[in-house]
Amino acid sequence: MQIHDYIVVGAGSAGCPLARGLSDDPDISVLLLEAGPHADRFWVHTPAGMAKLYFDRVRNWNFRTEPMPRLHDRQMYWPRGKMLGGSSAINGMVFIRGHPGDFDGWRARGNPGWGYDDVLPYFRAMERFERGGDAWRGGGGPLSVSDPVERMASSHAFIAAARALGVSPTEDMNGEVHDGVGFMQHSIRNGRRHSAYNAFVEPVRARPNLTIRTGCAVQRVLFDGRQAIGVEVRHGDGRMETIHAAREVILSAGSIKSPQMLMLSGIGPGEQLRRHGVTVLHDLPGVGRNLQDHFYVHTAFRATADSSYNARLSGWRKFREGLRYLATRKGCLALGSSQVAAFVKGKAEEPYADLQISFRPMTFNYHRDGQVAVDKYPGMGVSVYQLRPTATGTVTLASPDAADKPLLTPNFLTSAYDVETMIEGIRTIRRIMAAPPMASRVVAEEIPGPGIASDDQIHRFMEETGNSAHHQGGTARMGDDPLAVVDARLRVHGVERLRVADASIMPFLTSGNTNAPTIMIGVKAAAMIRQDAVPRRPIARAQAET
């Protein structure tokens, strides 16, 4: 019988730091399970390789939503990482912690220990910021956080234009001042992607108390009464395996897979589980509810030649750029997905910024065959999303088979408040792009184009083209109310020895890209689990000693 003290399900943004933190104690045995393969590939390590991984059939779950009535019945594509590192191995590498008010809001919703002053030490401990540490930033942690290796003149112009309109500057949006406009930071180290796996697990993978297994798709959590005792795993050849946990099972499979695993294990809305023939262990109605995501709208502007690096990634020049990257780990291929962010208010009554506007000095399109084509003309891309959407959706079972993807219903644009906020976001983009010195770099607005002017027209444009920022969260949210799934220690309500630690536990989304706070959740979870130190189950202890 295979027995480990802790089984961590999912080697992604939260699972990797969680496994690292638990295995820091040599007396604790940790098993880290990942459904996908290893991540040692050139395009995984190369920042610009995110475009190559967007539709990858091996290292990506390739989820799709249900048809969305408010978006002309479109099905939206939701990529999620399926390899060591999870989504931190395929994302845009943007590192944004979120606003302090986000975490204070989590604490105010019945989650002691999750206010900003509570989580700040974990943020500082996990990062190695290239400018060094201070009261706000960490300088010696495992995860490298860096400024853009190259800053385009148009990026400086965007910042100057936003400031001309009254947006305050911030030199470090992960430091003392979050709201405002400034350059983004990225989880990039020496020109290479620094995923959660690279940062937290790869340096310690030789530890004798840490076992890492890939190609292991967890089907369900196993129970003895109401105590989690292990997991059932399916291998690629169809072989099933049972693995036991002497202490706890922790689900870190993400905001889509973690609630699915809970439901397949008999924990979730009882009526739904019975409909699929799943035996109800604990009727927990909040599982799969509260699905949140940042609804994303993209705009594009034709630019002057010196304002865009489209030409450097087209034709023969892209080969020169590739050689430059191989020789120096610099240039366009070493950059994250966006350069600049402006955190601004779309609604005056909001206590802090509720819109993120992101600028990149390039434009491109994804094609259905998986290819990414950089536009042939010089272009600048600007996107916006609402930071705290009021509409929520659901993750529900499609069948009792873990191999079947769950049904994803995000309910985008079903809230009038959200629609109004996003319309203001697009108008804010236009104001910034029309302000000096940015105005002199804009040749024409390509998307949506000057013909889309009224609120109704902008609304239709959002319905037709709006997408996901791929920041799903909240589907196993933390709290002490009837719809909460885990408590403030991340223990699943109604059962024992089972926790969830990933973005699904967020009561509401953070202000910005969600990878950094998800990593923090894993780091903090490891510390809490070690503090709680539940004893080994007697039968497991006896078998281990034998």
Express each pLDDT in 263-319 by its tens digit. 999 999 999 999 999 999 999 999 999 999 999 999 999 999 999 998 888 887 888
- The number of beta carbons lying within 10 Å of the beta carbon of residue 348 is 6
CATH assignment, 149-183+295-386+421-465: 3.30.410.40
pLDDT score, position 365: 78
| pLDDT tens-digit series, residues 43-52 | 999 998 988 8
Q: Contact, 343 vs 178, CB < 8 A?
A: yes
Residue 291 and residue 389: Cα distance in Å, rounded?
Answer: 11
Return the structure tokens found at 217: 């798709």
Burial 444-463 (b: 16+ CB within 10 A, else e): ebbbbeeebeeeeebbebbb
Sign of CA dihedral 505, 510, 516, 517: negative
The confidence score (pLDDT) of residue 545 equals 46
pLDDT of residue 186: 98
**Of 540, 503, 507, the residue nearest 196 (C-alpha):** 503
| Nearest alpha carbon to residue 108 among 488, 519, 513 | 488
What percentage of the chain carries pLDDT values higher than 70? 97
Query: Above 50 in pLDDT, residue 107?
Result: yes
13 - beta bridge partners? Answer: none
Q: Is the pLDDT of residue 489 over 90?
A: yes
Q: How many CA atoms lie within 13 A of 545 on its CB side?
A: 7
- How far apart, in whole angstroms, are the C-alpha atoms of residue 498 and residue 525? 12
Q: Cα–Cα distance between 339 and 316 in angstroms, integer? A: 25
Q: With bands split at pLDDT 50, 70 and 90, how would you rate the model's confidence at 23?
A: very high
Angle at 463 between CA 460 and CA 467, to 5 degrees: 140
Task: Note the pLDDT tens digit of each residue in 111-149.
Answer: 999 999 999 999 999 999 999 999 999 999 999 999 999
Residue 329 corresponds to which amino acid?
Answer: R
Residue 90 has pLDDT above 80, yes or no: yes
pLDDT at 544: 47
Q: How far apart are CA 306 and CA 52, in angstroms?
A: 26
Single out the residue of 386, 368, 412 nearest to residue 68, CA to CA.
Answer: 412
Question: Do you find a cis peptide bond into 351, omega within 30 degrees of 0?
Answer: no
56: Cβ contacts below 8 Å, ≥ 6 apart: 90, 370
CA distance 210 to 201: 9
Q: Is the pLDDT of residue 370 over 80?
A: no
List residues with catalytic annotation.
471
Residue 1, pLDDT > 80, answer no
Cα dihedral value 540, 266, 287, 384, nearest 10: 80
Band (78; pLDDT cuts 50, 70, 90): very high
pLDDT digits (tens, 9 = 90+) for 502-525: 999 999 999 999 999 999 999 999
Does residue 10 contact residue 34 with C-beta atoms inside 8 Å?
yes
Contact between 468 and 78 under an 8 Å Cβ cutoff? The reply is: yes
Q: What is the pLDDT of residues 166-222, one digit of tens each?
A: 999 999 999 999 999 999 999 999 999 999 999 999 999 999 999 999 999 999 999
Phi, psi of 271 (to 5 degrees): -60, -40
For residue 364, name the pLDDT band (cuts at 50, 70, 90): confident
pTM: 0.96
Q: From CA 185, how far away is CA 433, in angstroms rounded? A: 22
- Kindly tell me if the per-residue pLDDT of 546 is higher than 70: no
- Quick check: 542 pLDDT over 70? no
How far apart are alpha carbons 461 and 448 in whole angstroms?
7
On whether the CB atoms of residues 493 and 451 are closer than 8 A, the answer is no
Mean model confidence pLDDT for the chain: 95
Look up residue 237 and give its amino acid: D
As to burial, measured by CB atoms within 10 angstroms (0-12 exposed, 13-18 middle, 19+ buried), residue 495 is buried
From the centroid of its chain, how far is CA 274? Answer: 31
The per-residue pLDDT for range 454-465, each reduced to its tens digit, is 999 999 999 999
Each residue of 88-116: b (16+ CB within 10 Å) or e? bbbbbbbbbbbbbbbbbbbbebebeebbb
